[in-house]
Amino acid sequence: MHEIPFEEILQNLRELIAKKVLIQTPEGLKREAQALAEFLEKNGIEVIISGDINYGACDLADKEAKMLGCDVLIHLGHSYMQLNLEVPTIFVPAFAKVDVVKVLEKNLDEIKKLGKKIALVTTVQHIRDLERAKAFLEEKGFQVFIGEGDNRVSFSGQVLGCNFTTAKVGEEVDGILFIGAGYFHPIGVALATKKPTLAINPYSGDFAWMDKEVEKIVRKRWGMIARAYDAKKFGIIISTKKGQLRLGEAKRIMKLLKEHGREAQLIAMNYISPEALDGFDFDAYVVVACPRVPIDDAERWRKPVLTPPEVKLLLGLREGYEFDEILG
């Protein structure tokens, strides 16, 4: 269950004198998008809902909004990301209605294993509860730090699947406590900080330590690097999604590969999928876009697919595994 502030959105649209809007939504908020469209139409605003899949604020439909003659884009589910946009955009992060403190209380014995000094991070869904969580933990005797992060994140303590800068709090902490669902974010946090990381899922109330998960994923990634070892021709995939476009990094990777005797070609894609690459004759790929793409569903890729830090490992230019991050 998520809260969408209908009245506040309407107020913002009136201030922007919007007559026609495009609503963009992630999979999990499609019904809320529909309800919002109905509400806005009743209030005299023409609405189009984008049916395209959306995974983040890195992929805004501002160009489509302009093409469709919309004055404003309403982006549901994710917080503000600094990008050069073609229409005014209202970001509506979805805040979960779930009691975070209750699950912290339930898992207090496990949290104690992290040590006394801890950094606290979460995804945008639970960001409003972070200060309350901090106060609760401090009451229980912990020293709690919430990192500010860089410009890619909107809130202190917020992590994205491609940015873990808030987990590096600039203090020598004993461990990191992540509040949220899924493993991708806390694995990234554990790899980025090299600290014991405990994930507490506020929906199920369960906890999970990340060391085993990190081991599992890193082992798989080394397997992927090994498969690319003899690759001669590399396709370097860049994204045409504004918040994932990293042309400079892609060129640096291309240069590195060429300096090490490999061939490399840039490929631009909007939706990156293994199937779309089928007709090409490359031995391996490097995805210089969303860092989740090469890692999620890694088994679907028929050719080895690496991240930029993995290319450096392949070429022997660095030691120790690191997640790919997009810094702001």
Interacting residue ranges for ligand SF4, rule: CB under 6 A: 55-56, 58, 160-162, 243-244, 290, 292, 326
Q: Radius of gyration of the chain from Cα atoms?
A: 21
Which C-beta is closer to ligand SF4: that of 33 or that of 160? 160
Phi, psi for residue 243 in degrees, rounded to 5 = -85, 5
CB of 154 to ligand SF4, least distance (A): 11
CB of 168 to ligand SF4, least distance (A): 17
d(CA 131, CA 127): 8
Paired residues of 267 in beta bridges = 237
Contact 6, 36 (CB under 8 A): yes
Q: Which two tokens stand for residue 118?
A: 């801890």
d(CA 325, CA 320): 15
Q: Which two tokens stand for residue 58?
A: 């890195």
Q: Which amino acid is at 111?
A: I
CB of 163 to ligand SF4, least distance (A): 7
Q: Which two tokens stand for residue 158?
A: 């917020």
d(CA 238, CA 225): 19
CB of 153 to ligand SF4, least distance (A): 10
CB of 291 to ligand SF4, least distance (A): 6
Which C-beta is closer to ligand SF4: that of 6 or that of 55? 55
CB of 293 to ligand SF4, least distance (A): 8
Which C-beta is closer to ligand SF4: that of 58 or that of 306? 58
Which C-beta is closer to ligand SF4: that of 62 or that of 71? 62
| C-alpha triplet 23, 202, 289: angle, nearest 5° | 50
CB of 324 to ligand SF4, least distance (A): 10
Which C-beta is closer to ligand SF4: that of 244 or that of 307? 244
Which C-beta is closer to ligand SF4: that of 56 or that of 180? 56
Which C-beta is closer to ligand SF4: that of 94 or that of 326? 326
